[in-house]
A and B are shown apart, each in its own frame.
Chain A
Amino acid sequence: DSGVTQTPKHLITATGQRVTLRCSPRSGDLSVYWYQQSLDQGLQFLIQYYNGEERAKGNILERFSAQQFPDLHSELNLSSLELGDSALYFCASSVVDGINYEQYFGPGTRLTVT
């Protein structure tokens, strides 16, 4: 158990809908990262928050947004969902960011868009 929690574990929704994925980082970790794993694109970095502020952005679509709250939990909002958004979404956390700090991954949320 990495100490990172993600809810829900599974989500099935229809095209055009909007969903929110939730992540609670390990106690004391300030950085939260979101990754998407799909068959087409592999594992891709989406976005990072550090202590409530957006820190780095990757291949995140405009239909997707995220935020980190004062208690450090984070939410990833996906809107106008398309079939291609079906994927496993991981949240990870680390104490601070930096190339030598281990990122602890949550169990993931499996999103299926029908």
Chain B
Amino acid sequence: AQKITQTQPGMFVQEKEAVTLDCTYDTSDPSYGLFWYKQPSSGEMIFLIYQGSYDQQNATEGRYSLNFQKARKSANLVISASQLGDSAMYFCAMREGGQVTNAGKSTFGDGTTLTVKP
């Protein structure tokens, strides 16, 4: 079964508006971390935000926030005040902490391509 599901292959947003990118995950491990990465057309992977399974509050980093709904197993990325430079592919990823030797192993979703329109 897919461990990370990103159901939106492509999304469009108007500049300066907010956008939500969806991510659902599947794990039976009580300890896990959720990550979002941005991959611009140049190809590099840029870390955006992290949420731990035991974190009580939703993570925020500047214009990025993670809407973490544990019971629903969702970890949606919210980008506020979109900019043209936000146009990129966005990946949701998970690491499971049950086995310490596997804690660095990231599982990625298929990604969402975000296009910001001027």
Chain B associates with chain A: yes
Q: A residues engaging B (CB < 8 A)?
A: 2, 31, 33, 35, 42-45, 48, 50, 55-56, 58, 88, 90, 92, 94, 97-105, 107-108, 110
Main secondary structure on A side of the interface with B: strand
* Residue with the greatest number of chain B CB neighbours at <10 A, chosen from A31, A45, A100: A100
Query: In the assembly, what is the distance between CA of A85 and CA of B95, in Å?
Result: 25
Is A55's CB under 8 angstroms from B43's CB? no
Complex: A56 Cα to B109 Cα, angstroms: 20
List the B side residues contacting A104 at CB < 8 Å: 47
Q: Which residue of B lies closest to A94 (CB)?
A: B104
B residues lining the A interface (CB < 8 Å)? 31-33, 37, 43-47, 50, 52, 91, 93, 95-97, 100-111
**Which of B32, B44, B104, B110 is the one whose CB lies under 8 Å from A55?**
B104
Partner of A99, one of B46, B103, B111: B103
Q: Please indicate which of the listed interface residues B45, B91, B100 has the most CB atoms of chain A within 10 Å of its own CB.
A: B45
* Distance to closest chain B CB from A102 (angstroms): 5
